[in-house]
Chains A and B, each alone.
Chain A
Amino acid sequence: MTQYIVLSAILFTIGCVGVLTRRNAIVVFMCVELMLNACNLAFVAFARQHGNLDGQITAFFVMVVAAAEVVIGLAIIMTIFRTRRSASVDDASLLKY
């Protein structure tokens, strides 16, 4: 059990660091997915531990939301890339004070 949680934490941390440090939007995106799936892992592990289905159901929800998010997110990234010829998240910083 502990191993699952530790793995989940490691994956989440990697995803987190990736989101904060990488500039490429696609990589940031992948890191977000990594964090989501780290959470999924923890959910499923806890569901197994407690012997009920709540965690597994939540994991399915997370997957569905993640799928929807990927669709919209990739579309946005594509559009930005078409106009700016760049996939760097730091370049799209016009919306500010």
Chain B
Amino acid sequence: MNLLSHSALLVGLPMAEEGAHAPVVAPDMGAGGVFDLLWLVIALPVLGAVLLLGVAPFLPPSLRATVDKHGHLLGTAMAALSFVLSLVLFVTLLGRDAEERQIGQQLWTWFETGSLTVGMDLLYDPLAALFLLLITGVGSLIHVYAIGYMEHDPRRRRFFGYLNLFVAAMLTLVLSANFVGLFLGWEGVGLASYLLIGFWQHKPSAAAAAKKAFVINRVGDIGLSLAIALMFATFGTTDFGAVSELAGEADQGTLNALGLLLLLGACGKSAQVPLQAWLLDAMEGPTPVSALIHAATMVTAGVYLVVRANFIYELTPVAQTAVVVVATVTLLWGAILGCAKDDIKKALAGSTMSQIGYMMLAAGLGPAGYPYAIFHLLTHGFFKANMFLGAGSVMHGMNDDVDMRHYGALRKAMPVTFLTFAMGYLAIIGFPGFSGFWSKDRIIETALAENLLVGILALLGAGITAFYMTRLMLMTFFTSKRWEEDVHPHESPRVMTVPLIVLAALSVLGGVLLLGDWIKTWLEPVTGTVEHHEPPLPAIVITLIITAVVAIGVAAAWFLVGRREIPREAPRDVSFATRAARADLYGDAINDAVVVRPGAGLVGGLTAFDRHGVDGAVEGGSLAVGGLSSTLRRVQNGFVRSYALSLLGGALLVVLALLAVNLR
């Protein structure tokens, strides 16, 4: 512990101040009114998933054909209804006083063993409220988009069933009032992610990607499940309320372990280094999936976990430092990947990784950062979903080609996609006024105030972000035509462009959440407040510096990509840095060397030991017994007199033994 806290000092993060406690979670049970319908938010998509996946396959063929044809409408309706309900709940919550904004609902006792009771409890508070709106809102838009995108897929009904399953699991994750319920949702989204990445299972690459995502996520899940076990052992419960109350009394070692284990879980789900390798492969899934799961919602669950467990992280500077380090490494890692990828979805995935790094960074900075982590999470949800759907629209027009080297000059062919994509682009690079500008600006500002080095690295990340996004933009919509011969780009149908337009509007206007520091005040009951440090420079100067760095990134992209002729084949004689970035910074190679090959070696050794050691002992034993008995059976020769002799011998032995015992 001494050593660890020393390292915290080395990095120079502030230790948690004495007595600085996160607010205790104390939900108002039985709030009544519209809040009684809280469970319905989850139940609606569950119903959709059950009908589309569980009931539909057993219908008579004629009826099933109808369901196959119109099932997507049911799925979309469920998501939309859930959104409407979330909106009503949000408005009602808005009408309450800040102290009364934690609503609890106990559904039933999930399981009870000995002294442990785990309830199916829901917690609706400002944090959950924002997530509900994001998940159901963006989720509904993506459902609508997918109607068009998946139109020609024969398994569209199943696709929408999976999407509803995902939405339900994600809502469970953010609404649960204890860590066990959160884990249920956590695994549910993992399952949905697996099913959807591998949706086109006939492609070996998709099947492999699904498996990879699943396996790497398991590693993170071990962290989360161990954290839950540790909570049971330490506190006897995993309810947010009880844990937030009792956390202050736990010893430092336990708290550190909890924080680090939760971080491991968050790393797996949010594709943070060292568990980042699955996200780029996950792009094998249909594009709406990439937008919903691998950009807007599921991958941000790690950020949610850290912010939700703020009552633990507030007490463990070690784990907080670890969060910051992981986040900083990831935000640069993802950004570098984004620079080198020619696959439009993989470039966006690298960008997602990097942006989640920003959120994690803010979440690791404590109460000063939590609101901005969530703020960036929301704005990112808008603009990244927008851009992924835009990329899907481009692919739709380009015969599912994902190589940006085959794009170029698409702005005329696809004006709506281009304009909406441009809104997302301006938002992510942080063009003044757009949503990403406000959220990223605040994160970098907070980071600079807390720790200069981390702040400068985050600033550098903003520059790289501007570079790779401009590169993507130029290669796709500007420069010269490099299309394949039989490709005729066309604008996507209305059902796909309308969600794009809505998301583009949100990307532009997302910054309004910051008006009057609204999001900070709104999240105060969850995250608490602390006097945060003054940044080293006035805020306006920092903003100018960020904007300047972004401008440099854009200019660099223009000089390196926009001005030149882009070869249709990726150049081979490139620098080491480019090769490394193209190979995912050797993430797979590292995994292979550190985990896979030693693991395979270990398994090989164990198999050999099992075969030769254990099996040898067992089979050798049986051989020995068999050989001995086949020798011994010769004694049974059928001659009575030889039996009589052995009888005599035995009797003599017994007598001798008796004598030996008695005479001693």
Contact = CB atoms under 8 A, between A and B. Distances in A.
Interface string A31-56: 00000000000000000000000000
B648 A20 contact: yes
A16 interface: yes
A11 interface: no
Interface residues of B, number: 11
Contact of A16 (B634, B636, B648): B648
Contacts of B636: 96-97
Contacts of B634: 97
Interface stretch (B60-68, B265-273, B556-564, B638-646): B638-646
Nearest to A16: B648
B637 A89 contact: no
A92 B636 CA distance: 13
Nearest to B640: A89
Using C-beta atoms within 8 Å of the partner chain, give the interface range for chain A: 10 to 19
Nearest to B632: A97
Contact of B637 (A20, A92, A96): A96
A93 B636 CA distance: 10
Where chain A touches its partner, the secondary structure class is: loop
Contacts of A71: none
Contacts of B639: 89-90, 93
A89 B636 CA distance: 15
Contacts of A96: 636-638
Contacts of B644: 19-20
Contacts of B638: 92-96
B488 interface: no
**Which of B634, B640, B645 has the most chain A CB atoms inside 10 A of its CB?**
B640
Nearest to B634: A97
B202 interface: no
A10 B634 CA distance: 33
A36 B20 CA distance: 98
Interface string A66-97: 00000000000000000000000110111111
Interface in B591-634: 633-634
Contacts of A16: 648
Interface of A: 16, 19-21, 23, 28, 89-90, 92-97
Interface of B: 633-634, 636-641, 644-645, 648
14 contacts: A19-B644, A20-B645, A20-B648, A23-B641, A89-B639, A89-B641, A90-B640, A90-B641, A92-B638, A93-B639, A95-B638, A96-B636, A96-B638, A97-B637
